[in-house]
Structure 1
Amino acid sequence: MNNLIQYLGLDALGLQGFGPLLLHGTWVTVKLSVLSLALSILIGLLGAAAKLSPLAILRIPATLYTTLIRGIPDLVLMLLIFYSLQGWLSSLTEAMGWAYIEIDPFGAGIVTLGFIYGAYFTETFRGAIVSVPRGQLEAATAFGLSRIQRFVHVLFPQMMRYALPSLGNNWLVLLKATALVSIIGLSDVVKAAQDAGKSTFNMLYFLILAALLYLLITSASNLVLRWLERRYNLGVRGHSHD
């Protein structure tokens, strides 16, 4: 890690030996964001399918889920989910006579963020699915494609065209929301900046560095999102020459 810092020239930034801590925190933030995004997308696809289902037993719980989650602040949800899970686990281990088990903050962060933003992705995918012309799916059915083949080759590529703008926005919000995970003890970039700031009595400097690191990640994310938009808009009028 120290060699990497010297290679990048970060030792000239006045990090006072806290460069490895900041880089590790940045890596934790990136991993947390990507894994939370994967879980959010999975929950979003399942939630969208449930909300569009003709079965009330699937539609009603999915509607309640998105309504409740989107109406409660992320910080409150994070504390509620984390401490509720820890409380339930402690009660279970005590009842079963097992040793005390403490929830890993990293795993808890993934589950919490994935569960919260799965509600937003549910609405994103639901709207995107509804926007796909039904004739496309009917034509795929007429050609004898299975349900999975229709989803992979017809529905998913077209729904992504409609979902990407909102999906990209949700991703950027999720990325910034990872800063909240520091309150449950995860050593992300915000926690690393706070620890460095407290130790050097220069909190403002290290928080500015953390903000710049977030800006760097979001800028890289925007490049990827633009590439995805071009890819899923190939052949569409107005995007064929991108």
Structure 2
Amino acid sequence: MFLNGYGPLVLAGLMMTLKLALLAMIGAFLLGLVGAGCKLSRSRGLRALGAGYTTVIRSVPDLVMMLLLFYSLQIWLNRLTDALGWAQIDIDPFSAGVITLAVIYGAYFTETFRGAFAAVHRGQIEAALAYGMPPWTLFRRVLFPQMMRHALPGIGNNWQVMIKATALVSLIGLNDLIKATQDAGKGSGQFFYFSILSALIFLALATVINLAVLLLERRFSAGSRRHAA
């Protein structure tokens, strides 16, 4: 029998981890762009906001931040519903996991994007403005592609760390891959076997991420290679 009958449980945990990691990655990516924009803004208030966000989030251990955000979100929501006289709304572990991981790793993406934006030559932006490009077109066709070329190594690193950090959500009751393999190991009496299995699955996921980042690096560096040639 496949994995001593625990195959469906492990597969369901893997699917949960993949969904969690993908949605958290999208959220962290968007937060990173916003955070980088704040830190590079001419507004002193926005720069202070961006600096405060990255400093606080990166200084607190991920486990502590996960528990703080999970319980704080629920407390704030309870206070809001009490003030409005509404029925209590419970945040499910999946939504809480996506939000907390996005907030945590959005701070790391902020620094990745900030450095990548700063690496884009100012002359490229000035040329686009002189050509009459509107701001959104300038960002989409000039700034973003060149920024991504510099940011991709950091994006790949952050993404790999985030995949591993999904293991933290098992502490807030989500049946992810770690929780599934732990339950399978306890139920079958083969805890070491299922622990090795989870490690191999995470290694396979990291390998896939590396390949995806390599493909993206080729995509975004195509223009620079042609120029060099």
Q: Which residue of 2 aligns with 1:147?
A: 135
Which residue, out of 167, 183, 193, partners 2:181?
A: 193
Tell me which residue corresponds to 2:55: 67
Aligned position for 2:172: 184
Tell me which amino acid in the other structure corresponds to 1:40. A
Does 2:106 align with 1:118?
yes
Q: For the residues of structure 1 that align with 2:18 and 2:188, how far apart are their CA atoms?
A: 25
Give the deviation of 1:207 after TM superposition.
Answer: 1.2
TM-score (norm 2): 0.95
Q: Shift of residue 94 of structure 1? A: 3.5
Q: Which residue of 2 aligns with 1:53?
A: 41
Runs of 4+ residues over 4 Å off in structure 1: 237-241
**1:202 alignment counterpart:** 190
Q: Of Structure 1 and Structure 2, which has the larger fraction of its residues in helix?
A: 2
Greater relative contact order: 1 or 2 (C-alpha under 8 angstroms, separation 6 or more)? Answer: 2
Q: Aligned pair 1:173/2:161, yes or no?
A: yes
1:164 aligns to 2:178 (yes or no): no
Amino acid at match of 2:86: W
1:239 CA displacement:
9.9
**Counterpart Cα distance in 2 of 1:147 and 1:137:** 10
Q: Which residue identity is paired with 1:126?
A: R
Match of 1:105 in 2: 93
Q: Say yes or no: does 1:17 pair with 2:19.
A: no
Please give the alpha-carbon distance, in whole angstroms, between the structure 1 residues aligned to 2:86 and 2:51: 37
Partner of 2:157, secondary structure, is: helix
Give the CA deviation at 1:34: 0.8
Displacement after TM superposition at 1:102 (Å): 1.7
Deviation, 1:238, is 9.3
Judge which range, 194-203 or 161-170, deviates more. 194-203
Q: Count how many residue pairs are aligned between Structure 1 and Structure 2.
A: 229
Query: Which structure 1 segments of 5+ residues have no match?
Result: 1-10
The CA deviation at 1:92 is: 2.9
Partners in 2 of 1:204 and 1:102 — Cα distance?
A: 35
